[in-house]
């Protein structure tokens, strides 16, 4: 895991509280992963380890639901790191998967983030790579009403 980005939503509206952290994955970055997110070994070398931020992350998310696009993917990484550090996994019941919502709401249509941005006219011109930072800046809760 190399990045965590969270936004607090109250009634589907961001309240200004965020949690963002790049992480040193403690292993070399596979080239295919770097092509997706653009984060190099050199960039991540001085970032904190998951063990350094786990308490702050868990305090931030508390017992709240966690919304993510393709949430099972993210939960897999988070729970692997939590297990590695002797912590309880995040319960799957807390997971709200916007990819599954999109597939149910728009049957047969593409449900990728890019497809949804196109569908809802969300400007992604500043997006170069996939990452948690970009998701923080483009959240538009009205599309899920």
Task: Please give the helix or strand (H or E) that residue 133 lies within, else none.
Answer: helix 132-138
Q: Assess whether 130 carries a catalytic annotation.
A: yes
Q: How far is CA 109 from CA 34, 67, 118, 124, in A?
A: 28, 21, 12, 19
Beta-carbon count within 10 A of 93 CB: 7
Catalytic residue, from 20, 69, 85, 130: name it: 130
Q: Which residue has the tokens 């939960």?
A: 75
Q: 23 burial class (0-12, 13-18, 19+ CB within 10 angstroms)?
A: buried
Annotated catalytic sites, by residue?
130
């Amino acid at each position: 895991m190399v990045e965590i980005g969270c936004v607090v939503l109250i009634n589907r509206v961001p309240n200004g509280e965020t949690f963002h952290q790049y992480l040193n994955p403690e292993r070399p970055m596979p080239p295919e992963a770097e092509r997706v997110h653009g984060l190099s070994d050199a960039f991540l070398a001085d970032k904190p380890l998951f063990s350094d931020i786990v308490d702050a992350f868990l305090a931030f998310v508390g017992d709240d639901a966690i919304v993510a696009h393709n949430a099972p993917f993210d939960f897999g990484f988070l729970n692997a790191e939590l297990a590695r550090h002797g912590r309880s996994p995040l319960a799957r019941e807390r997971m709200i998967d916007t990819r599954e919502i999109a597939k149910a709401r728009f049957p047969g249509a593409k449900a990728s983030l890019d497809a949804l941005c196109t569908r809802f006219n969300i400007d992604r011109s500043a997006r170069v790579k996939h990452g948690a930072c970009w998701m923080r800046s483009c959240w538009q809760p009205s599309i899920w009403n």
